[in-house]
Structure 1
Amino acid sequence: MISLQGTLTVYNPQTRLTMFESGPENSTGSVVFIGGLMDGYHALPYLPLLGKAISDQLGFSLIQVMLSSSHMGYGISSLQEDVRELDVLFSFLRNQKAKTRLFIVGHSTGCQDAISYLIHGQHRSAILGIVLQGPVSDREFMASSTDMYDEYLHLAQRMINEGKGQELMVREVDVAPVTAYRFKSLASAGGDDDMFSSDIPVETMRALFSQVKVPLMMVHSGRDEYIPAHVDKKLLVSKFDAACPTSLGSAVLPAADHAISDLPSQAKLCEVVLHFMQRVLTQVEQFETLQQQSFHGLSL
């Protein structure tokens, strides 16, 4: 059994937020993993295998990041706050850890964070590529699994209209404390978190994803329990592909659940991520070579 051993480091002294780095810490290349709602360190079963794969094959380290929204904090946070905290992380990685080759792997709602960062992050130009594992619709899942969905959504909207968007909703709304703003963001059509719903028009998706300027790969689970039964998964995957101008394709793991719990699917995920990273790194090296050749040509 593979285990993750590494170093816990404070990357944000003001808030005491930490990161956990496993693998070759002196490497200039790292994959930053951003978890989903309620996730913390070592939340996904595939992380040890992924960490070993990128270390052995590419010499990259794996960095898991703790945000204010981690664990039970997601209900009182936002994608905008996550982006601000990720800015501090990537500044630390670039300036203090001398990282020059950075990738992001987002899981579940961490996919919204990854997209948001590639659009709004101060250090987005330093990110070479992103992998979205398990991009799903919080809105569609909540609507299909919560009897009080409409009532809660109306309550959230009423509180926002009354200027109480940052106040907490009633306790029974969620397992975690949740503000009216964050509930609407997750649960309403067009909310800040509503990026992967099956009923979003391709044109709307394209307007969002066209702002991402780096190569992108989506990894979907064939047995994802957070996608409602009425959603056509094949059609959804094709819609995502059509909406992402920088997409290098999508991978579907037929036997995998949302967290990719089974070992064969974990191994396949690692293959997909490695192949994606190798393609991107090759493109970067070719571009840098052309730049050097052009510079030498001008010098002559």
Structure 2
Amino acid sequence: MRTKPPASAKGNPGILHPYTPGLVAFEYTRNTHHPKPHTLIFIGGLGDGLGTVEYVTDIIEALYGTKWSVFAPVLSSSYSGWGTGSIGRDIDEIAQCVQYARKYKESTWGAGKVVVMGHSTGCQDILHYLSCANPRPRDEVAEQSGNTRGNGKVRSVEGTAEITRPAVDGAIIQAPVSDREAILWELKTGTDRDSPAAMQEVCQRAVLEAQRSTYEDQDSDYGCPPIKRDTLVPETVTARIGYPAATAVSSRRFLSLVSPNSPQNPDEDDMFSSDLGDEALKRTFGAVRDRRLLKSNAPLMVLYSGRDQSVPPYVDKEVLLRRWRTALGGDLWHTGSMIIPGASHALSDDDQAEPRQILVRKVLAYLGDVEV
């Protein structure tokens, strides 16, 4: 979801793991004398990186005397990298982190469990991980990432990606919200700088231009036919609709977040909008069962923030969660799923002590279910 300033976080010791060439994950290890065979892999939202989601510190402290440690991978899309990234590339990198964590933990402590948890746009990553074709369809444009080969360029072609995602022992999504609905609400209400009419004109022009020239062709260094590269949306546009001025946003990612053809034809990032039809939900929540990447003894747990600033007031959260549960299937929906009363988007406000306690209790209880 929308990017935000980094939160202050307590320092925690740990180990920096290079889980794949060019990418690292930080494992928080406050209690190295206690066996830690199990792993909770945490994926943040747009603009997040190490230590930017405050409540992760609470989870780390709560896991001190348990058999679980927290892995926080730095993806190519972490920090400002989200603007030119995609959730398709994210799930490839998450898969590599899952594979690494399993192998590392088994060699250190013996075979253990791996649970993935997403916050905000990290929820799109988790649901896409569980529901997308495995291996996923390859992108139609060239991708630039921290995991590079040869001269640093990764050339995408038709077909499927090289990475097959391993199954996980559990999955949690916290603050699964719709970027598109948040943007539409801002267009309706306006900002301190722009009226609703001005905002709508700016966004409409940006969408039309991004659709008209999403890619540009560049000669390939491989002696192959020209390949497509993303174009960029002007910063004067992205800054006015709430994105950091210093973050470059590709036309492709912009269209994915705004998803102008929704709700009939939602783009990749548009998974949690309240107006999506049942058919759209079948392609995400409804596809989890067939992919078999989530083990049946640990269903998906959804923790929705009751006072999420990114959710328009017209959204009926209870109805939305019931629709997701129906699409997923009741047996794959964890009974601990809930709307956390009073919780803000990232539970980082001054009045969030009680919601954070609820969230931590829920996560610990879920991990206890997985461990059995």
Match of 1:89 in 2: 97
For residue 210 of structure 1, give the secondary structure of its aligned residue in structure 2: helix
1:88-131 deviation digits (Å, cap 9, x = unpaired): 21222122332630001100000011112223473432x11111
Query: 1:36 maps to what in 2?
Result: 45
Residues 109-124 of structure 1 mapped to structure 2, 5 A cutoff: 109-119=121-131, 120=134, 122-124=164-166
**TM superposition shift of 1:4:** 4.9
**Is it true that 1:107 corresponds to 2:193 in the alignment?**
no
SS in 1 for 2:321: helix
Residue 263 (structure 1) aligns with = 353
Shift of 1:236: 1.6
Identity between Structure 1 and Structure 2 (%): 30
**Does 2:235 correspond to 1:171?**
yes
Q: Which amino acid aligns with 2:98?
A: F
Q: Secondary structure at the match of 1:205?
A: helix
Counterpart for residue 319 of structure 2: 235
Matches within 5 A, 1:11-160: 11-12=18-19, 14-24=21-31, 26-56=35-65, 58-98=66-106, 100-119=112-131, 120=134, 122-125=164-167, 127-146=168-187, 147=199, 148-160=202-214
Corresponding residue for 2:303? 219
What is the DSSP-based 3-state SS (H/G/I as helix, E as strand, rest coil) of the residue aligned with 1:61? strand
CA–CA distance in 2 between the matches of 1:79 and 1:97?
26
**TM-score normalized by the length of structure 2:** 0.70
Shift of the alpha carbon at 1:16?
Answer: 4.2
Equivalent in the alignment of 2:334: 248
Q: Indicate conservation of the 8 Å contact 1:11/1:89, yes or no.
A: no
* CA 1:280–1:91: 2 relative to 1, 3 Å: closer
**Equivalents in 1 of 2:52, 2:114: separation in Å?**
21
Query: How many corresponding residue pairs?
Result: 279
Q: What is the rounded CA distance, in whole Å, between the counterparts of 1:49 and 1:105 in structure 2?
A: 14
Change (3 A) 1:267 1:180: same
The residue aligned with 1:286 is none
d(CA) in 1 for partners of 2:82 and 2:15? 22
Q: Distance in 2 between matches of 1:12 and 1:167?
A: 30
Please say which of residues 14-23 and 39-48 is displaced more in the overlay.
Answer: 14-23
Instruction: Determine helix, strand or coil for the equivalent of 2:282.
Output: helix
1:185 is aligned to 256
Distance 1:47 1:12 in 2: 20
Separation in 2 of the partners of 1:22 and 1:202? Answer: 43
The whole-number CA distance in structure 1 between the counterparts of 2:19 and 2:334 is: 33
**What is the alpha-carbon distance in structure 2 between the residues aligned to residue 206 and residue 200 of structure 1?**
10
Q: 1:15 to 1:59 in 2, by over 3 A?
A: same
Cα displacement string for residues 23-48 of structure 1 (whole angstroms, at most 9, x for unaligned residues): 44551101010000001111122111
More helix by share: 1
Secondary structure of the corresponding residue to residue 249 of structure 2:
coil
- In structure 2, distance between residues paired with 1:165 and 1:151: 21
Alpha-carbon distance in structure 2 between the residues aligned to 1:41 and 1:178: 21
Tell me by how many angstroms 1:233 deviates.
2.0
Q: What secondary structure does 1:124 align onto?
A: coil
Q: Name the CA distance, whole Å, in 2 between partners of 1:70 and 1:85.
A: 11
**In structure 1, C-alpha distance between the alignment counterparts of 2:118 and 2:303, rounded to whole Å:** 10
Tell me the SS of whatever aligns to 1:92: helix
Question: What SS is found at the alignment partner of 1:55?
Answer: coil
Task: Quote the offset at 1:161 in angstroms.
Answer: 7.2
Shift of 1:22: 3.2
- 1:203 offset after TM fit, Å? 3.4
Secondary structure of 2:16's aligned partner: strand
Going from structure 1 to structure 2, the CA distance change for 1:173 and 1:15 (only over 3 Å counts) comes to farther
Q: CA deviation at 1:167?
A: 1.5
Amino acid at match of 1:37: L
Shift of 1:8: 3.9
Partner in structure 1 of residue 142 of structure 2: none
CA–CA distance in 2 between the matches of 1:221 and 1:193?
19
Q: How does the TM-score come out when normalised to structure 1? A: 0.85
Structure 1 3/124 Cα, relative in aligned 2: closer, same or farther at 3 Å?
A: same
Matched, 1:201 2:265: no
